[in-house]
A = this chain, B = another copy of it.
Amino acid sequence: MKPEPARTMAAANAPLRDHYATVRARSLQLIAGLTAEDCMVQSMSDASPLKWHLAHTSWFFETFVLAPLRGYRCFNPAYRMLFNSYYVGVGERHARPARGVLSRPDLAQVLAYRQHVDDALDTVLQGALAADATALIELGLQHEQQHQELMLTDLKHHFWCNPLHPAYRDSTGLSAPPAIGAQWLRHAGGNTEIGHAGPAFAFDNETPRHPVTLAPYELANRLVTNAEYAVFIADGGYRQPTLWLSDGWDCRQREGWQAPLYWLDAAGKRAFTLYGDQPLHPTAPVSHISYYEADAYARWAGARLPTEAEWEQAADTSSTAPDGTPSLAPQPATGEGLTQLFGTLWQWTGSAYLPYPGYRPLPGAVGEYNGKFMINQMVLRGSACSTPPGHARASYRNFFPPAARWQFSGIRLARDVG
């Protein structure tokens, strides 16, 4: 008798079905209050229109979960190309810098597409599921959460490029608590392991768990603040090439950087936020800085950035819950020990984004998810105020090119011991 592939029973899918509903609903909540026009802006090649994010996340489920199923009726065959991001294994793609020209399909049609996919997925989730289908649905939800963060990240840039500096959300009632002082926290290093293991979900780039050897090191208990960063600027941080990596200085010159991306003045008095132009809290962490700036700041401060192994070792015993009040702007640090690990800002590490020893990408076209980007990027750890709830873990590897500034990134300092 031929063995059957492992299948969950329909009843066992209930938690996944709930998770699906919750995650998908949140994407729609994110566009509440926005116009169809707002959802179509593409302010640069790196940032996509919100409408595109809504469509592409549906495309992911359609392409990898639904399309292989017998009897699935494709919503619109043109979407296969139109909303493919970068999967060459799936076929042609609409050019990334031209995502903003897609007035058609309009937002209403994209929402209908989402509903179509949700309906089909719901039918699937009411039946028995093969293990790989379950895995792909789970991957699709994690993928959608990543795009939820990108929606906020990109929208901030889209609105920033509009001289009117529209506010995404109302800032009424926002307040910043007094912040804690900076301290060095010592870690022993030694032989340890990093990377994900176990049955819970993780992206392929977090695996396999593997041994590393670390020298003793110290990490700052909180992120670098706006006030601290303003001192760096006032001290000539953006005028002194010896503080910078060579490529970083070229970039600073070419781009004319004089302060973090969204600052409205070099003193850090005001900045653009998802709440519109706002006063900048001196004790809130400096945000939207590139690796080059983080690295230059650390050198100026007589410190360095942590490696991802150091960061993960230190974080491994911490909760992944954010410290403070939920907000779409990073908040000052409070509390004891290693604060602001999650829910505030992604933290640049000094580690290049490369495969872990023994890394294997997923089979098939989803294998393009992570592996092919493992060059010319640096790892960021933690999570940010823009990260969806439940989407953080100590082994999570985020990554951006060293010049990127539009993501919610900040600085945690490290230094050698002895």
Contact = CB atoms under 8 A, between A and B. Distances in A.
A82 B166 CA distance: 14
Contacts of A249: 88
A233 interface: no
Interface string A66-108: 0000000000001001100010110000100010111111110
A99 to B, nearest CB: 11
A189 to B, nearest CB: 9
Contacts of A161: 98, 101
A88 B245 CA distance: 12
A107 B101 CA distance: 16
Nearest to A292: B375
A246 interface: yes
Interface in A233-253: 241-242, 244-249
A63 to B, nearest CB: 16
A86 B352 contact: no
25 contacts: A36-B37, A38-B104, A38-B106, A41-B101, A41-B103, A78-B164, A88-B249, A94-B163, A98-B161, A100-B100, A101-B158, A101-B162, A104-B162, A104-B166, A210-B213, A210-B215, A213-B213, A215-B357, A215-B358, A245-B372, A245-B373, A307-B357, A351-B354, A352-B354, A376-B402
Interface in A1-56: 35-38, 40-43
Contacts of A292: 375
A375 B293 CA distance: 13
A209 to B, nearest CB: 12
A212 interface: yes
A191 B215 CA distance: 14
A228 to B, nearest CB: 23
Nearest to A295: B375
A177 interface: no
Contacts of A158: 101, 103
A211 interface: yes
A248 B291 CA distance: 22
A206 interface: no
A103 B245 contact: no
Contacts of A210: 213, 215
Contact of A101 (B43, B88, B376): B43
